[in-house]
């Protein structure tokens, strides 16, 4: 098998996971009170498998006029060692599908059969007549192998249910300690949201420049990729009373010693944190044409050190703004941030 479809699947799965990461983290904390690491890993495995299955079945698309005759004779080519190896690979390819199916091994086998038949019909019809002839071989042995693999996966499904989910089993409404891992998770969400906002703003600016027939400049690109997202993050922090979007995702909030943070403290927290990084990178890109990787690494290292080295994990932004970080489920009158355990 070629590694190109697998590489493409891994790249696409990673991109989709990055797009969905912050909403997934927010949903986990609101539904289960915390991020279930085992569940997150299983979901990414499912995502990777789905894109991998599609990639290996349909890619690469044809570039010429090659056509292949269907193979209708069951088990006709298994005397060839290479064909036997391909048969085994097809079995292995559908084992995860059977393991993910619910309802026991009969449902798993049926799911494998239906999926395999649809795949083979897609190949037989040239991607449902998008191409003049079949560009991949329709092989009845693939249906047999795929169904067998799904059946084996269904038989192994009870083992999947024994995988750890990484949950503490505590009620979702119960406050959790403010740990360094939780703070770093919120920072990762902030970085991803900043990147996604930058991509969206850059696309919007590119469309606007094309419509107005205006030539793009480095400062236009810098404003779209960094400065506009920085402004949006500031608005979100002011609306969130000093808490960033990433902190909202992990159900943390900023708290001043006397209650709600003042606007000056919120602005300071933004400037020292994700907002300051975005503005600095925007200035660097506008001046020199590309952002500074060194600046990004130093910023991440310094803030990670600040989160892990401060006792209550308030980090550099909390120290600079004079703000604590507490669990959002705590009452407004809670005098102290939750300690790590």
R_g (Cα) of the chain, nearest Å: 26
Contacts of 142 (CB under 8 A, 6+ apart): 90, 116, 119, 120
What local confidence, expressed as pLDDT, does residue 74 receive?
A: 78
What local confidence, expressed as pLDDT, does residue 105 receive?
A: 85
Q: What is residue 250's DSSP assignment?
A: T
**127-164 pLDDT tens trace:** 787 777 777 778 888 899 999 999 998 898 888 777 77
Which residues in the chain belong to E strands, given as ranges? 252-255, 324-327
What local confidence, expressed as pLDDT, does residue 337 receive?
A: 40
Provide DSSP, 78-92: TTSHHHHHHHHHHHH
CB contact at 8 A, 219 and 287: no
Q: Is the dihedral of CA 83, 89, 91, 93 positive or negative?
A: negative
Low-confidence ranges of the chain (pLDDT < 70): 1-4, 63-65, 77-79, 331-341
Q: Using N-to-C axis directions, what is the helix angle for 105-124 and 37-58, rounded to 10°?
A: 30
> What's the token pair of residue 32?
């289960």
State the CB neighbour count (10 A cutoff) for residue 38: 13
Bridge-partner residues for 71, per DSSP? 139
What local confidence, expressed as pLDDT, does residue 86 receive?
A: 79
How far apart CA 90 and CA 95 sit, in angstroms, is 9
How far apart CA 297 and CA 305 sit, in angstroms, is 12
Report in angstroms the alpha-carbon separations of 19 from 24, 196, 291: 10, 7, 21
How far apart CA 126 and CA 130 sit, in angstroms, is 6
How far apart CA 302 and CA 315 sit, in angstroms, is 9
């Amino acid at each position: 098998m070629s590694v190109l479809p697998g590489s493409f699947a891994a790249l696409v799965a990673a991109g989709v996971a990055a797009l969905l990461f912050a909403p997934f983290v927010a949903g986990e904390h609101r539904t289960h009170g915390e991020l279930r690491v085992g569940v997150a890993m299983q979901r990414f495995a499912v995502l990777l498998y789905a894109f991998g299955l599609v990639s290996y079945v349909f890619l690469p698309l044809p570039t010429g006029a090659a056509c292949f005759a269907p193979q209708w004779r069951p088990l006709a080519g298994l005397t060839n060692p290479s064909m036997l190896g391909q048969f085994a690979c097809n079995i292995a390819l559908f084992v995860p599908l059977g393991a993910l199916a619910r309802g026991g091994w009969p449902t798993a086998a049926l799911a494998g059969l239906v999926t395999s038949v649809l795949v083979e019909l897609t190949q037989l019809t040239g991607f449902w007549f998008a191409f003049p002839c079949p560009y991949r071989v329709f092989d009845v042995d693939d249906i047999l192998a795929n169904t067998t693999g799904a059946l084996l996966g269904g038989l192994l499904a009870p083992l999947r249910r024994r995988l750890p989910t990484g949950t503490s089993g505590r009620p979702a409404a119960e406050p959790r300690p403010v740990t360094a891992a939780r703070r770093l998770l919120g920072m990762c969400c902030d970085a991803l949201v900043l990147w996604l906002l930058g991509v969206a703003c850059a696309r919007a600016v590119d469309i606007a420049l094309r419509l107005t027939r205006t030539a793009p400049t480095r400062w236009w690109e810098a404003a779209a990729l960094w400065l506009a997202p920085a402004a949006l993050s500031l608005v979100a922090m002011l609306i969130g009373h000093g808490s960033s979007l990433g902190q909202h995702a992990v159900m943390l909030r900023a708290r001043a010693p006397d209650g709600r943070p003042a606007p000056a403290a919120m602005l300071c927290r933004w400037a020292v944190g994700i907002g300051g990084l975005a503005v600095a990178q925007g200035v660097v890109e506008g001046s020199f044409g590309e952002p500074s990787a060194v600046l990004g690494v130093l910023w991440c290292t310094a803030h990670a050190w600040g989160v892990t080295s401060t006792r209550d994990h308030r980090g550099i932004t909390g120290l600079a703004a004079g703000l604590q970080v507490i669990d959002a489920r705590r009452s407004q009158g809670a005098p102290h941030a939750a300690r790590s355990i």
